[in-house]
Amino acid sequence: MLSRSIERSAGSAPTRKLACWQEERARRLILAHLESGISVTLLAEACALSRSDFTRKFKASIGHSPQEWMRLQRVEKAKRLLAEATLPLAEIGLECGFYDQAHFCRVFNRLTGLSPSAWR
């Protein structure tokens, strides 16, 4: 009898990940707002979830919190700009949504193990 109630409750548990449309919408919104940033509250509203539920499901779906994933995407964009353009580091940092060159260099170094100029 106990095992049946456990099976029933486990089968009716809500999904722990974002639905495909929610994940796609969240990714698109984050990428569209890399330069200016977007709040987790707005992302959650766009996915019709509470802020805490969205954050939990986003991390379960993607493996990173929304803020971490945004930082990773900013660094990926910076890598592309470093490889393609001859823009100054400060300009690349600003274009990727970092506050200033120091912030850009600090985050880039933490995530890649290299400074932006060494990576270039």
40 pLDDT more than 70: yes
The answer regarding whether domain 65-120 maps to CATH 1.10.10.60 reads yes
Determine the pLDDT at residue 15: 65
Distance CA 114, CA 76 (A): 13
At 64, give phi and psi (nearest 5°): -140, 155
Determine the pLDDT at residue 83: 92
> Which tokens belong to 53?
């539920």
Distance CA 28, CA 24 (A): 6
Distance CA 106, CA 103 (A): 5
Task: Determine which helix (DSSP H) or strand (DSSP E) holds 102, and give its type and residue range.
Answer: helix 101-112
Amino acid at 106: R
5 pLDDT more than 80: no
What are the extents of the domains in the chain?
15-63, 65-120
